Structure 1
Amino acid sequence: MNDKKLNEILFISKTLNVLYVSLKKDDNDSLLSYLKEKFKKVICSTDGDEAIDIFQNNKISVVITDIEINSLNGFELIENILNINKNILTIIYTQLQNHEYFLKTIELGIDGYLLKPFKEEDLKKILFKSIEKCKVKQENKKIKKNFDLLTQYQELVDKSTIISKTNSKGVITYVNENFCKVSEYTKDELLGKNHNIVKHPDNTKELFSDLWNTIKNEREEWHGIIKNLTKSGKPYYVKTTIKPIMDSKNNIIEYISARSNVSAIMSDKKHLIDKIDENNLSLLVLIQIEEFDMLDKFYNIETINKIEKIFGYNILSCLPSGFIFEDVYNIGNGRFALLTDFFTYSRSEQNINEYLKKFVQNVKESAFEIDDIEYDFNVVISYSFGKEHLFEDAKCGLEDAIEEKGLIKYANDLSIKEHIEAKKNIEVMKMVKIALDNYKIVSYFQPIINNQTKEIEKYESLVRLVDEKGKVLSPFMFLDVSKKGSYYTKITHRVLENSFKMLSYISTELSINLSSLDIEREDTREMLYELLEDNKEDNHRIIFELLEDENVKDFEVIKTFIKKVKKMGVQIAIDDFGSGYSNFERLLNFEPDILKIDGTLVKNIVDNKYSRNVVETIVSFAQKQNIVTIAEFVENEEIFNILNDLGVDYSQGYYFGKPENITIK
């Protein structure tokens, strides 16, 4: 486990309360000592009923229990707790290694099975795997009441770059250089005056009434946008934060104001491109409001325009201090750009990645009020240096960041990579089209062996593409690219045709892979129903193998399909079983006849005790449910013998046979 992951675990653990249930709770308990050191609070109990009361009356995030405790056993305790709150992190801590207990752990959805004696690394692994479940929302307080004056000043300086102070009567006692630069007044012209000197007459009386009531009577921070006038009469907007500063007796002694100039918000992408062309070298930052497309669907155009406008006004106020972007460009669809001359950035000596991380955090901690409704926004960012392909690079980087669910992406040269990738994808598409036209999308068949008899009782149909040079290509070289065009469905239909034709060549059962994308398409479903109707006498030999797919759009369509084909005599298999937490839910939904054990578990089963335990548990579970098991990736005799000893019904892998074109033999 790398240092970054470890630090994340330790950081989160310090915020969590633990309920530890064990008959042993003395100072010699190594786990208890560790929990007290690493977690915020540890509450101990020896009794299951008492533990439930403790859980209901305390903010508990993690429950760790032995199996053997008073009144209830550990499994019963966790089952009761999960009925109260399913989001609790649960761990069994025991010296018992019974595989029935291990099975029970999986069935209840318990997060970890920790064996005695306690090993710190084992607990860290469990915590890391479940880290998303145990994260708790931290309260972010922008300014604490008991900060000393220096801390309060520093925090506000970090928020913005245009600073002023007044005494308790509102008379200006300090302005920084940026205030003078924006307002066009000198310090001598400003000191001793109040802020009316820069106030624009368009501001309403209600705005300033609210401002003074907030900072003077309620003694709270005030936030808002104020329209000001420069000395020469030019209007400008400032995003303003004003905070009353109190002495030790809670008396207001002065006010400090922090502002960001939000006047230069451009609304035309052309202005941005022109500005890039004007500069020799630039730093470009693209900002995307996360899930803006969902907002666009949910709200009317007027509200969307307000959201973009207010967010644009607030961008500069969220930037950390120490470096200034002069302009904000609103380029549409919740996307904004910041641009500056590269050498201006270079002189600032800022680490751009850290700078933008702080900006992302500031946005996350800010509340944006629009029509009396507060909105919380998250952003995704891409940045790029240079001149040529600058906007294209940043745009590609932003799209990558969104797809990868990252926050910040350095994007130089990504457009070149995209061009190369696009060219490669076009070549693959052409290759697929030629193969379809020439019936070179073929099916290869891999045998599946009965472990007891070592006889072939099933085949799995696997798609292959034969290119113009006669080379046989595996699906990973063309199938994903095909999904981006119209060829994927054509490939599926060709495979179905090939597979059903193969029924006349073999006497065994035949397994055909189907993804959720296949089943959700009405034309593919209709083709399957028609093929099954035409091959009624062979339906009992057909297995539809459902592939793992996180992008299921309509579970009801898939469940209806499964019920219908099972009534027609077809068997249902779940592929890659054991590879993810979704599998047991799929069991309940799909009621399969066959489980295909994930190959990553099988290929490591010789040396990996965990893999062996999981496979053993799956087999035990399947046997109780009268479900057949098939192990994939059976590469040698040693793996086969272990699987056979564990009670796996069938094996598939290179040890028994590679995929082949049976019709050619």
Structure 2
Amino acid sequence: MHKLTEIIKYSYNLNLLYVEDNDEVRNSTMIILREFFKNITVAENGQEGYERFTEQKFDLIMTDINMPKLGGLEMISKIRETDNEVLILVLSAYNEPNYFMESIKLGVEGYLLKPINMEQFLVVLNKVIQKVQLKEKSRTYMSLLGQYQEVTDNSLIVSKTDPTGKITYVNDEFCKISEFSKEELIGSNHNIIRDPENPKEFYEEMWESLKGKKQIWKGTIRNKSKSGKSYYVQATIKAILDADGNIVEYIALRSDITDIMNQQKQLEDLIDFSIKPILALIEIVDYNNLSKFYGHKEISHIETVFANTLLQSVPNKKLFDTVYTLSHGRFAFAKDANNQDIDEIIDNVKKALHNVNSSSFEIDGKVFDISIRVSLSYGDDILENCTYGLQKIKKGHSDFFIANGLAQIEKKQAQSNLNTLEMVHTAIKDSKIISYFQPIVDNKTKEIVKYESLVRLITPTNKILTPYFFLDVAKKGRFYSQITQIVFNNSFDALSKTTKDISINLSALDIEKENVSNMIFDLLEKHKKDASRIVFELLEDENVKDMNVVKNFISRAKKYGVRIAIDDFGVGYSNFVRLLDYQPDILKIDASLIKDILTNDYSLSIVKTIITFAKSQNIEVVGEFVENEEIYLLLKELGVDYSQGYFFGKPEPL
């Protein structure tokens, strides 16, 4: 959410408590606030603000600091005694570090200076809106959770096993489809229902995901019942972990797709035996949300009725005599278009799409508004084309796509990725993953005081590639961890080649990987004498699963004398809590702020705020993207300690 109209559309329904004692400031600020909020309650001091807070519910509180009777920070403190959830913004004319830090400790969402800077206000308000939306979703999810559990146990096939694979729980649906009793299943190995025709590699891949990577596994499994009859299930299996990350059990949820598998086979046979096949692959939009509200039997019934609705929505009833019901809310029209007008078929599919998306249908007295998207292809590779076409539609804004040739394009991209992975593999094998080092200079002396370690790849033709050309693809394969290890080895080896400090980029998500963390501390122990010259540049990441793991890593690393920097700081500068979590020694101001600092007053204001805060906490500041002398001189004047950029040096071998 970033457009002004979108922000106003949502903020207008929020209840705002505005606390300000100055009449002139209050009146001028209200002119702005009325553009964003419909419901505004005004208080003229902290005591009155607290009383209004106790009388009604507010989504957001905006308050001044210095006020009679009860100051803004004191009011916030009293509110926090009973409510840690309400969102609070501080709006003050004071840019004092002590107010800034006290606001952080009280858990405010942002600190705005008077008079309101509209760009800064929109950024902070956008973050507030996102948090309100998350809280609303959380309440909804908690309300539905109990219902989901009931629906799951009554509609899906459920089992649990211990870490050795012994069955510890099955529900009635499991017994029904497998034909085994609970007494026969409990204590037995899951092999009791395994179909022997499944390849060994299938299970090796499954267990590598579950046990090795501790990831959720999803897929289709063919099993055998007690009587020897094969049946198909769509399964989702997850390893349940304790607080230390150890597997305590596995839980599996399955839905019976035996009948669906038969329809899939029928569709594939029609395509294989057609002279000129044409396929329209249809998918229900937000099918996953629909399936959460209804059990397996209800969904099956809905899909049966909806399949008939699809068939009836085609204007020319003679074109298709059946609709194929596939898995996960997918359906298909298919036929041999030999000697038929392709354009007429496409036109009828488009009209069917319009008919469905512009109307509702009823099942057992319940009205459903279901939207669909359609990917169509004719000629060769039509099933693959349509599958890729649906993926392309999801990324765009259309609901119809002709996907001819798309599979070939995707295969070329896949081949390109394979070539990149092969290039990475060759580079690792031939020791062609290297490190370049970019100097960081002291702004007072212009002397190099440290280097940032940056990964590079040397191709067989001796071309030097930056991470842009290979790192994202490497993350999809098994080489990323090897690259990380090489970069760290190169960086620590550099300690013996210079007396300067070495900065190394490190993702908070990498820290959560046990093998990466262990490797880093092995290197710190090996280079203990020079470890104090190491700086870890941490990227701020909202997707950290366990902040305690990161905080423990930082605490342990600092015992070796390692210093911690927050890289790209300024983009999420209002995320005050992360500063308290990381306790950084250094802030590296984001390049997007530095490159515009000469022409953008908003960037300059943010940089000044960061510097003021950093100085008050004895945190060093580095400016990135210093491309010319003008930027350097301004940063020096503002009090930035160090500069990094092409004005002082490009990344090179040390």
TM interval, shorter chain, is 0.5 to 0.7
**1:284 equivalent in alignment to 2:271:** no
Match of 1:593 in 2: 585
Summarize the Cα distance change of 1:10–1:474 in structure 2 as closer, same or farther, 3 Å threshold.
same
> What letter corresponds to residue 132 of structure 1 in structure 2?
Q
> What letter corresponds to residue 286 of structure 1 in structure 2?
E
Match of 1:218 in 2: none
Summarize the Cα distance change of 1:367–1:16 in structure 2 as closer, same or farther, 3 Å threshold.
farther
Cα distance in 2, alignment partners of residues 280 and 347 from structure 1: 16
Match of 1:346 in 2: 347
Match of 1:250 in 2: none
Match of 1:309 in 2: 300
For residues 379-404 of structure 1, give each alpha carbon's deviation from its aligned partner in whole angstroms, at most 9, with x where no partner exists. 997531232444334433555677x6
**1:639 equivalent in alignment to 2:626:** no
Correspondences of 1:16-31 after superposition (within 5 Å): 16-23=14-21, 29=27, 31=29
Summarize the Cα distance change of 1:521–1:286 in structure 2 as closer, same or farther, 3 Å threshold.
same
Match of 1:336 in 2: 330
Which residue, 646, 650, 654 being the options, matches 1:654? 646
Summarize the Cα distance change of 1:99–1:609 in structure 2 as closer, same or farther, 3 Å threshold.
farther
Match of 1:473 in 2: 465
- Find the structure with the greater CA-based Rg: 1
Aligned-partner SS, 1:284: strand
CA contact (8 A) 1:284 1:384 kept: yes
Match of 1:131 in 2: 129
**Which has the larger displacement, 72-81 or 52-61?**
72-81
Correspondences of 1:75-154 after superposition (within 5 Å): 75-77=73-75, 80-81=78-79, 85=83, 88=86, 90-92=88-90, 108-111=107-110, 113=112, 115-116=114-115, 126-135=124-133
Match of 1:54 in 2: 52
Summarize the Cα distance change of 1:354–1:618 in structure 2 as closer, same or farther, 3 Å threshold.
farther
Correspondences of 1:134-283 after superposition (within 5 Å): 134-135=132-133, 268-274=263-269, 281-283=278-280
**1:387 equivalent in alignment to 2:387:** no
**Which has the larger displacement, 505-514 or 29-38?**
29-38
Summarize the Cα distance change of 1:9–1:322 in structure 2 as closer, same or farther, 3 Å threshold.
farther
Cα distance in 2, alignment partners of residues 14 and 317 from structure 1: 43
**1:498 equivalent in alignment to 2:476:** no
**Which has the larger displacement, 44-53 or 282-291?**
282-291
CA contact (8 A) 1:428 1:481 kept: yes
Cα distance in 1, alignment partners of residues 364 and 412 from structure 2: 41
Cα deviation, residue 69, structure 1:
4.6
CA contact (8 A) 2:507 2:539 kept: yes
Aligned-partner SS, 2:650: coil
Cα distance in 2, alignment partners of residues 428 and 343 from structure 1: 43
- Runs of 5+ unmatched residues, structure 1: 139-263, 370-376
Match of 1:608 in 2: 600
Cα deviation, residue 487, structure 1:
1.1
Cα distance in 2, alignment partners of residues 317 and 33 from structure 1: 56
Cα distance in 2, alignment partners of residues 536 and 28 from structure 1: 58
For residues 493-535 of structure 1, give each alpha carbon's deviation from its aligned partner in whole angstroms, at most 9, with x where no partner exists. 2222222221121111111222245433433333322322222
> What letter corresponds to residue 507 of structure 1 in structure 2?
T
Cα distance in 2, alignment partners of residues 353 and 328 from structure 1: 17
- Runs of 5+ unmatched residues, structure 2: 138-258, 336-342
Summarize the Cα distance change of 1:529–1:64 in structure 2 as closer, same or farther, 3 Å threshold.
closer
Corresponding pairs, count: 515
Aligned-partner SS, 2:70: coil
Cα distance in 2, alignment partners of residues 401 and 117 from structure 1: 41
Cα deviation, residue 593, structure 1:
1.9
**1:486 equivalent in alignment to 2:485:** no
Cα deviation, residue 40, structure 1:
3.7
Summarize the Cα distance change of 1:54–1:352 in structure 2 as closer, same or farther, 3 Å threshold.
farther
**Which has the larger displacement, 94-103 or 413-422?**
94-103
TM-score, normalisation: structure 2: 0.66
For residues 98-148 of structure 1, give each alpha carbon's deviation from its aligned partner in whole angstroms, at most 9, with x where no partner exists. 7877777777543473754796x876565445432344969xxxxxxxxxx
> What letter corresponds to residue 21 of structure 1 in structure 2?
V
Cα deviation, residue 49, structure 1:
2.2
Summarize the Cα distance change of 1:8–1:117 in structure 2 as closer, same or farther, 3 Å threshold.
closer
CA contact (8 A) 1:514 1:545 kept: yes
Cα deviation, residue 446, structure 1:
0.7
**1:527 equivalent in alignment to 2:528:** no
> What letter corresponds to residue 49 of structure 1 in structure 2?
Q
Cα distance in 2, alignment partners of residues 39 and 366 from structure 1: 41
Which residue, 31, 43, 58 being the options, matches 2:41? 43
Cα distance in 2, alignment partners of residues 548 and 582 from structure 1: 12
Cα deviation, residue 66, structure 1:
4.5
Cα distance in 1, alignment partners of residues 32 and 595 from structure 2: 35
Cα distance in 2, alignment partners of residues 418 and 618 from structure 1: 45
Cα deviation, residue 611, structure 1:
1.7
For residues 577-616 of structure 1, give each alpha carbon's deviation from its aligned partner in whole angstroms, at most 9, with x where no partner exists. 2222685333322322222221111111112222222222
Summarize the Cα distance change of 1:545–1:129 in structure 2 as closer, same or farther, 3 Å threshold.
closer
**Which has the larger displacement, 567-576 or 390-399?**
390-399
CA contact (8 A) 1:267 1:329 kept: no
**Which has the larger displacement, 475-484 or 339-348?**
339-348
Cα distance in 2, alignment partners of residues 113 and 453 from structure 1: 35
Cα deviation, residue 453, structure 1:
1.6
Cα distance in 1, alignment partners of residues 92 and 355 from structure 2: 44
CA contact (8 A) 2:65 2:71 kept: yes
Cα deviation, residue 321, structure 1:
11
Cα deviation, residue 479, structure 1:
0.8
Cα distance in 1, alignment partners of residues 575 and 115 from structure 2: 28
Cα deviation, residue 483, structure 1:
1.0
CA contact (8 A) 2:326 2:332 kept: no
Aligned-partner SS, 2:549: helix
For residues 286-340 of structure 1, give each alpha carbon's deviation from its aligned partner in whole angstroms, at most 9, with x where no partner exists. 2476768x98xxx9xxx974465355357569999977999775534x4433548
**1:569 equivalent in alignment to 2:561:** yes
Cα deviation, residue 556, structure 1:
3.6
> What letter corresponds to residue 268 of structure 1 in structure 2?
Q
Aligned-partner SS, 1:643: helix
Aligned-pair identity in percent equals: 39
CA contact (8 A) 1:52 1:81 kept: yes
Cα deviation, residue 474, structure 1:
0.4
CA contact (8 A) 1:442 1:463 kept: yes
**1:437 equivalent in alignment to 2:429:** yes
CA contact (8 A) 2:94 2:113 kept: no
